């Protein structure tokens, strides 16, 4: 798999084979990759909470919102939920503002997970106060993002966004998840 193929395979997966565990060593490896990515002023304020036990996964799942564009889908059912999560925090005693560090870290972890045959999804629509209480997140840490991980159990494909069509992703009759992306010539400005 070359780099472009890795980027294309790294979709936002929301249904997994929950019976396939993601080991603690794998989660540590992903954070080990993330910690070597760029950081504004090299402050490195990000901290990580690793969760792969069934009880922790169930508690975190209660604080997540899935696929806002799929109005009739309440999110992954038991058996197709993520087997692990990484909660990304900003330690505000190190930096008040993480800039875009957490996006870089999350995408790097997801690319590394994809290379290992896993898949994931960034989640920003999260109940931060609930997560803080349930996981004893210290006050000095801002909750930035949750990264869900597991062995994907759905097919996701990219397609060119058609003129006048919206950005909403959708599932077809075969249950394939389609993600429209804006055409290259629309996003490169010829000024
Ligand atoms: C910062 C960020 C936050 C996101 N939050 C959520 C979320 O809360 N729930 C969800 O189901 N997907 C979430 N997503 C996934 C996006 O919906 C997804 O990236 C988009 O639909 C495009 O699909 P793709 O990642 O396969 O290209 C988030 C993505 C990003 C980058």
- Give the model confidence (pLDDT) of 103-113 as tens digits: 999 999 999 99
Q: What is the DSSP letter of 16?
A: B
Residues of the chain with pLDDT under 70: none
Return the SS3 of 32: helix
Count of CB atoms within 10 A of residue 2's CB? 6
Q: Is 146 close to ligand 1, i.e. is its CB under 6 Å away?
A: no
Answer yes or no: are the C-beta atoms of 57 and 51 closer than 8 Å: yes
Q: How do the domains of the chain map onto residue ranges?
A: 3-153, 155-191
Q: What is the pLDDT of residue 76?
A: 98
- Give the model confidence (pLDDT) of 84-97 as tens digits: 999 999 999 999 99
Q: How far is the CA of 169 from the centre of ligand 1 (A)?
A: 10
Q: What is the pLDDT of residue 107?
A: 98
Q: What is the pLDDT of residue 164?
A: 85
Q: What is the pLDDT of residue 180?
A: 98
CATH of domain 155-191: 2.20.180.10
Sheet holding 119-123, edge to edge: 46-51, 84-91, 141-150, 119-123
Q: Work out the end-to-end distance of the chain between its first and last CA atoms, rounded to an integer number of angstroms.
A: 35
155-191 matches 3-153 in CATH topology: no
User: Architecture of 3-153 per CATH?
Assistant: 3-Layer(aba) Sandwich (3.40)
Q: Is 124 close to ligand 1, i.e. is its CB under 6 Å away?
A: yes
Q: What is the pLDDT of residue 179?
A: 98
């Amino acid at each position: 798999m070359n780099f472009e193929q890795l980027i294309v395979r790294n979709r936002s997966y929301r249904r997994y084979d929950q019976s396939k565990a993601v080991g603690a060593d794998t989660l540590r490896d992903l954070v080990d990759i993330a910690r070597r990515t760029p950081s504004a002023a090299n402050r490195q304020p990000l901290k990580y909470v690793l969760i792969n036990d069934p009880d922790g996964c169930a508690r975190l799942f209660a604080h997540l919102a899935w696929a806002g564009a799929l109005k009739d889908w309440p999110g992954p059912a038991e058996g197709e939920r993520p087997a692990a999560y990484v909660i990304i925090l900003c330690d505000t005693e190190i930096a008040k503002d993480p800039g875009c560090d957490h996006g870089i870290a999350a995408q790097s972890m997801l690319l590394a997970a994809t290379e290992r045959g896993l898949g994931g999804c960034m989640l920003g629509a999260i109940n931060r106060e609930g997560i803080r209480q349930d996981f004893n997140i210290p006050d000095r840490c801002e909750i930035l993002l949750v990264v869900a991980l597991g062995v994907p159990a759905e097919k996701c494909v990219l397609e060119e966004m058609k003129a006048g069509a919206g950005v909403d992703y959708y599932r077809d009759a075969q249950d394939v998840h389609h993600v429209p992306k804006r055409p290259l010539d629309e996003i490169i400005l010829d000024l």
